């Protein structure tokens, strides 16, 4: 088998496995109570498969450095969340989600410039969560309307996660562990929730 064909088949298989994780987690979340459903829905269903496949292709040092680069990205994600929530109160999806994604990209670009230690990564998260969670508290009490899932919601989410996994795996040898770790933690499921739900129920919910 030609190496190119082998690479494509392996990549498609990995994308399918990642998509299967998303579909399974979505169905479990819908069929369980709010506690279990919430835990399942927030599983790292994009970062998890990405790191499993990276571990198959790279050594322990690569994975360790990538994981240390991933840790502070959680701080960028909560700032993305704060940006989206504030803007979504009065703006459309394009402005709210677009601005939030730009903020994440800027912060992630800064994060990738540094060699992170465990202590530094934890400290950045502590500061970000300590600032953003109190600022988000005032927006938590809006009533959530009943949402009917449409047939394309889960396939759309699964395709986004599969694409992210494909990007991480296929570019890891070129961009290195630091950038791979940052990309692996992009909040793709969170972004898909914005895209799916904002047009249906509005920004505040």
Measured over all CA atoms, what is the biggest interatomic distance in the chain, rounded to whole angstroms? 58
Residue 76 confidence class, pLDDT cut points 50, 70, 90: very high
DSSP state of 150: P
Report the C-alpha gap between 178 and 192 in whole angstroms: 25
Check the CA dihedral 157-158-163-169 and report its sign: positive
Q: What pLDDT is recorded for position 7?
A: 77
3-state secondary structure of 205: coil
Question: Do residues 67 and 122 touch, judged by C-beta distance below 8 A?
Answer: no
Q: What pLDDT is recorded for position 134?
A: 96
For the segment 112-129, what is each residue's pLDDT rounded down to a tens digit? 999 899 999 999 999 999
Q: What is the full DSSP assignment across 69-130? A: HHTTHHHHHHHHHHHHHHHHTTS-HHHHHHHHHHHHHHHHHHHTTS---HHHHHHHHHHHHH
Report the C-alpha gap between 157 and 161 in whole angstroms: 6
- Report which secondary-structure segment, H or E, holds 16: helix 3-31
Residue 186 has pLDDT above 90, yes or no: yes
Domain spans in the chain, listed from the N-terminal domain onward: 3-201
């Amino acid at each position: 088998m030609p190496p190119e064909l082998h690479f494509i088949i392996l990549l498609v298989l990995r994308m399918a496995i990642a998509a299967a994780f998303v579909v399974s987690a979505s169905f479990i979340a819908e069929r369980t109570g709010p506690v279990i459903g919430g835990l399942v829905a927030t599983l790292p269903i994009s970062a998890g498969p990405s790191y499993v496949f990276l571990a198959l292709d790279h050594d322990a040092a690569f994975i360790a450095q990538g994981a240390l680069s991933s840790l502070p990205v959680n701080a960028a994600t909560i700032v993305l969340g704060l940006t989206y929530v504030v803007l979504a109160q009065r703006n459309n999806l394009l402005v709210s989600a677009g601005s939030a994604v730009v903020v994440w990209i800027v912060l992630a670009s800064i994060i990738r410039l540094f060699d992170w230690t465990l202590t530094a990564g934890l400290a950045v998260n502590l500061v970000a969560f300590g600032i953003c969670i109190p600022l988000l508290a005032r927006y938590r009490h809006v009533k959530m309307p009943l949402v009917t899932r449409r047939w394309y919601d889960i396939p759309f989410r699964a395709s986004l996660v599969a694409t992210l996994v494909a990007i991480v795996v296929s570019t890891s040898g070129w961009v290195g562990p630091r950038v791979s770790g940052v990309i692996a933690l992009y909040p793709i499921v969170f972004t898909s929730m914005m895209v799916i739900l904002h047009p249906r129920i509005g920004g505040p919910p």
